[in-house]
């Protein structure tokens, strides 16, 4: 389970005296286990994505507001640390192929009105492994016959 890997990595960070990683993973574990002691991997992935999005927002704010170099480096390091816990991401042609496979498996016709069905099926079959915005644009293109 992913939460176990995060716990192990936190212990390694503790032994390596990597305070940044230890603290970040500690907060992640606390948030993930707030409601259940053993959250499933998809719940942990959703939380990791949320943490990454927050770190990206902080990085942008530091860049716009002229934050210190240390703040920028911290935000970038958080993104790198958390990225280790995401499944490999489908992009470009691989995502197009995944969408087409899902449409075949679920026997969804290539009609613009089926956008919601395709996105739901994609989420069921490939949850957490793609960027929703990119997938949405590709599904629109596929259903309208542009791809």
What are the residue ranges spanned by the domains of the chain? 2-83, 92-143
Q: Do domains 2-83 and 92-143 have the same CATH topology?
A: no
Residues linked to residue 130 through DSSP beta bridges, in sequence order: 90
Contact status, residue 42 vs residue 36, Cβ threshold 8 Å: no
Mean pLDDT by 10 residues, the chain (147 residues): 95 96 96 91 90 91 78 90 89 93 94 94 86 92 90
Say what the pLDDT of residue 71 is: 83
Contact status, residue 102 vs residue 118, Cβ threshold 8 Å: yes
Say what the pLDDT of residue 124 is: 87
Query: CATH classification of 92-143 is 1.10.10, yes or no?
Result: yes
State which fold the 2-83 domain adopts: Hypothetical Protein Yqey; Chain: A; domain1 (1.10.1510)
């Amino acid at each position: 389970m992913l939460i176990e890997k995060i716990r192990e990595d936190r212990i390694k960070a503790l032994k390596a005296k990597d305070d940044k990683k230890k603290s970040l993973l500690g907060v992640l574990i606390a948030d993930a286990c707030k409601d259940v002691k053993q959250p499933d991997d998809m719940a942990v992935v959703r939380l990791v994505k949320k943490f990454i999005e927050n770190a990206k927002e902080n990085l942008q704010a530091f860049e716009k507001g002229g934050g210190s170099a240390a703040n920028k480096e911290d935000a970038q390091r958080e993104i790198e640390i958390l990225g280790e816990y995401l499944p490999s991401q489908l992009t470009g042609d691989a995502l197009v192929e995944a969408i087409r496979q899902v449409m075949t498996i679920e026997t969804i016709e290539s009609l613009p009105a089926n956008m919601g069905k395709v996105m739901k099926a994609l989420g069921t079959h490939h949850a957490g492994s793609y960027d929703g915005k990119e997938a949405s644009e590709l599904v629109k293109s596929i259903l309208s016959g542009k791809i």
